[in-house]
Amino acid sequence: MAEFLVEFEWFKDPSGYELLEAVAPRPWVPKPVKTIVGEMMMMEPGLLTQDSGQPQKIKRKGGELKRYSPLDKYNSLCLTFCQYVQDAKSLFEFVNEFGPLTQYGLEQEYGEEVAPILVHADSMRSRSTKTALFDAGGLYLQSPRLALIPDEKNKTFRLQISPKNLLDALWLQFAQLCQENIAFRTCEYCGDLFSAGPGTGRRYDAKFCKPPHQVAFHSRRRSKTARDMP
- Interface residues toward Zn ion, by CB under 5 A: 187, 189-190, 209, 213
**Residue pair 6/65 in contact by the 8 Å Cβ criterion:** no
Nearer to Zn ion, 174 or 189 (CB): 189
Nearer to Zn ion, 57 or 185 (CB): 185
Cα first-last separation, the chain: 60
Give me Rg for the CA atoms of the chain: 25
What minimum distance in Å lies between the beta carbon of 125 and Zn ion? 17
What minimum distance in Å lies between the beta carbon of 208 and Zn ion? 5
Nearer to Zn ion, 120 or 213 (CB): 213
* Tally of CB atoms within 10 A around 161: 18
What minimum distance in Å lies between the beta carbon of 200 and Zn ion? 14
By CB neighbour count within 10 A (0-12 exposed, 13-18 middle, 19+ buried), where does 130 fall?
Answer: middle
What minimum distance in Å lies between the beta carbon of 217 and Zn ion? 8
- Residue nearest to Zn ion according to CB distances in the complex: 187
Task: Identify how many contiguous H helices and E strands the chain contains and give both numbers.
Answer: 8, 12
For residue 128, what is the DSSP state?
-
* Tally of CB atoms within 10 A around 216: 14
What minimum distance in Å lies between the beta carbon of 182 and Zn ion? 17
**Residue pair 203/196 in contact by the 8 Å Cβ criterion:** yes
Nearer to Zn ion, 138 or 211 (CB): 211
What minimum distance in Å lies between the beta carbon of 210 and Zn ion? 6
Nearer to Zn ion, 162 or 186 (CB): 186
Nearer to Zn ion, 8 or 194 (CB): 194
